[in-house]
Structure 1
Amino acid sequence: MSKVLITGGAGFIGSTLADRLIKNGDQVVIIDDLSMGDIENLPQSMNVTFYNESITKQAFMADLLITNNFDYIYLLAAIASVADSIERPIETHEVNQNANLNILETIRKEKLTPKKIVFSSSAAVYGNGPELPKKETSSIDPMSPYAIDKFATERFMVDYGKLYGLPTVCTRFFNVYGPKQNPKSPYSGVLSIVSDCLVKNDVFTLFGDGSQTRDYVYIDDVVDALLILATTSDAKWDVYNVATGQSISLIDVIGAYESASGEKLKVEKKEARLGDVQDSVADITKLRGLGYEPKVDVNTGLAKYWDALQEK
């Protein structure tokens, strides 16, 4: 049994990861301030300890890390909204970069011995660079404070790891979707907002013409990737794209979702938003080299997502 810390563990990705870890018999500690996460997402298990706290509380975090000396640490907590980071760059910077740096400092200074520290970054770091698919070596062009913080924290993770011998690794998530996404959050992925509109027969606001493409990756594949990166000793001091390697336009994914759900989406078009990326697809060769293979194509994933919403 491993002792695992998940920051942001009441969120969509963190809580789904926690579900899997509990099934594997691990002891899981979750910290989440519930600004974006939902307490209902948490696994109902004796093997989960939950703290309703912010990762910016330095003394609290240091005490938690020292007391537990975790085997695995997943750093998933973030203010994950590009728009929010543009409106509140300093506040989002505290969560998205400084808090993670303080965690690294505590591990270094206290000589803690995690087997792996996994930091979740984002495909947003690539920005609108013309090269497709995006390789981990593609040019970086962060177009928002959110993306700047994600990239800077990646560099801290990789270089701290090398300098101080900490087993760090970073993911760059592309467009993750699936059950437990929060459509009410302004930080939510587009497919959870589409889902909510389909369920409630509400109008979906389409920014731009719908031609923008994304690499949508189902949550179960993302959890597979996180576990591979955590448990593969060679995967350290490096960054890995987490995606499917396939892209689809927003208009086509809406069509696929309408087919999966048997519902028709009401759409209202608006101008494209500042800072939004036009096209995005990942090269996942590097992650495949560790044994990762996405199992859920977008049609299957949308059907699973819709079924889960109906059950709820």
Structure 2
Amino acid sequence: MTVTVLGAQGFVGRRLAARLAAAGEAPWTPARGDPTLLTRDLGTVYYCAGLTADYDRRPFDTVEAHASLLNEILRAGHFERIVYCSSTRLYDGAHQPEVDEATPLVFDPADPRRVYDLSKALGENLTLTRTGGRGVVARLANVYDWMQGSPGFLSEWLAQAPQSRDLTLESSPHIRRDYIHLDDTVDALVAIADRSGIYNLASGEIVSNAQIAQVFQELGWSVRFTSEADPPPPPNASAARLAELGVRARPVKDVVRAYLEGLKA
């Protein structure tokens, strides 16, 4: 079966494409603007294209990546299945301690920083309602890895660990997030490819920077933070639906501990 990975040069898409290739599936990874994208058979599409860190500076590119290109692919109709990568950030407006895939989403359209959330929500809507039941939405929590160049605060923190045992981080110990390792994310994307509806790709546990720092300190690292900011935590997104498929994200503290122990070996 044909498999297509869109956004294969990005953080998640690159690892996913490598995983599929290793399994003998030889995914097609078209470059941005490939003229054949809307005319050839795409088979199962993993839609990993998107903007994260720079979405606020590039709002029009954000809408293009999250919804406009998807719209054209769905209109052309040359696919068997589509897995759309969204984000658990869409729950932030709910202001609830616990959420799941059925929780109604709340957005303020007058907030310019909501272009990320709203464009992802539009992509979700198209995937769920305009694919004839052939689409599934993956809401990703904070994905991390220690490979150099991996984006995100925790990824950058982990990438510093081999270089120094004395770390100063421009953040606060009170910041809390749900983390899922990149490899667990890829496993989950593959597992839900033949499903429908929405799946949270998350661990189901909110963990603070202080808790992760404690793991570092127990293994011989010194960690200092430059801020004491204490914002409200994000809603805790349930991972129960994903667990029903036998897929569970490893707890971030366990993954970090194993990684650091490997550095000490």
TM range (shorter): 0.7 to 0.9
Give the aligned residue type for 1:80: T
Instruction: State how far apart, in whole Å, the 2-side matches of 1:78 and 1:305 are.
Output: 28
**CA deviation vs aligned residue, 1:179-215 (integer Å, no higher than 9, x gap):** 44625xxxx2221121234344464211xx4323211
The yes-or-no answer on 1:302 pairing with 2:226 is no
TM-aligned CA deviation for residue 75 of structure 1 = 0.4
Quote the RMSD (CA, aligned, Å): 2.7
Cα gap change, 1:291/1:85 in structure 2, threshold over 3 Å: closer, same or farther? Answer: same
2:225 corresponds, among 262, 267, 276, to 267
Per the alignment, residue 5 of structure 1 pairs with 4
Cα gap change, 1:12/1:88 in structure 2, threshold over 3 Å: closer, same or farther? Answer: closer
Give the aligned residue type for 1:264: S
Per the alignment, residue 22 of structure 1 pairs with 21
Give the aligned residue type for 2:142: N
Which blocks of at least 5 consecutive residues in structure 1 are unaligned?
32-52
CA contact (8 A) 1:213 1:280 kept: no
Instruction: State how far apart, in whole Å, the 2-side matches of 1:242 and 1:71 are.
Output: 23
Give the aligned residue type for 1:92: T
TM-aligned CA deviation for residue 307 of structure 1 = 7.0
CA contact (8 A) 1:85 1:146 kept: yes
**CA deviation vs aligned residue, 1:240-273 (integer Å, no higher than 9, x gap):** 111111221122123224445x32234322767x
The yes-or-no answer on 1:136 pairing with 2:101 is yes
Give the aligned residue type for 2:201: V
Q: Please, what TM-score do these two structures have when normalized by structure 2?
A: 0.85
Q: How does 1:1-312 map to 2 (within 5 A)?
A: 2-31=1-30, 53-54=31-32, 57=33, 60-61=34-35, 63-67=36-40, 69-81=41-53, 84-107=54-77, 112-114=78-80, 116-142=81-107, 144-161=114-131, 165=132, 167-180=134-147, 182-183=149-150, 188-201=151-164, 203-206=168-171, 209-230=172-193, 232=194, 235-236=195-196, 238-259=197-218, 262-269=220-227, 278-294=233-249, 296-306=250-260
- Give secondary structure in 1 for the equivalent of 2:51: coil
Give the aligned residue type for 1:117: I
Question: Number of residue pairs matched?
Answer: 258
Cα gap change, 1:204/1:75 in structure 2, threshold over 3 Å: closer, same or farther? Answer: same
CA contact (8 A) 1:131 1:138 kept: no
Q: Give me the identity figure in percent.
A: 24
CA contact (8 A) 1:172 1:239 kept: yes
- Give secondary structure in 2 for the equivalent of 1:105: helix
CA contact (8 A) 2:173 2:225 kept: no
Cα gap change, 1:174/1:309 in structure 2, threshold over 3 Å: closer, same or farther? Answer: farther
CA contact (8 A) 1:198 1:264 kept: no
Instruction: State how far apart, in whole Å, the 2-side matches of 1:124 and 1:86 are.
Output: 15
Q: Please, what TM-score do these two structures have when normalized by structure 1?
A: 0.73
TM-aligned CA deviation for residue 291 of structure 1 = 3.0
TM-aligned CA deviation for residue 65 of structure 1 = 4.7
**CA deviation vs aligned residue, 1:2-36 (integer Å, no higher than 9, x gap):** 321111112222122222212221111223xxxxx
- Give secondary structure in 2 for the equivalent of 1:85: coil
Instruction: State how far apart, in whole Å, the 1-side matches of 2:42 and 2:261 are.
Output: 36
Higher-helix-fraction structure: 1
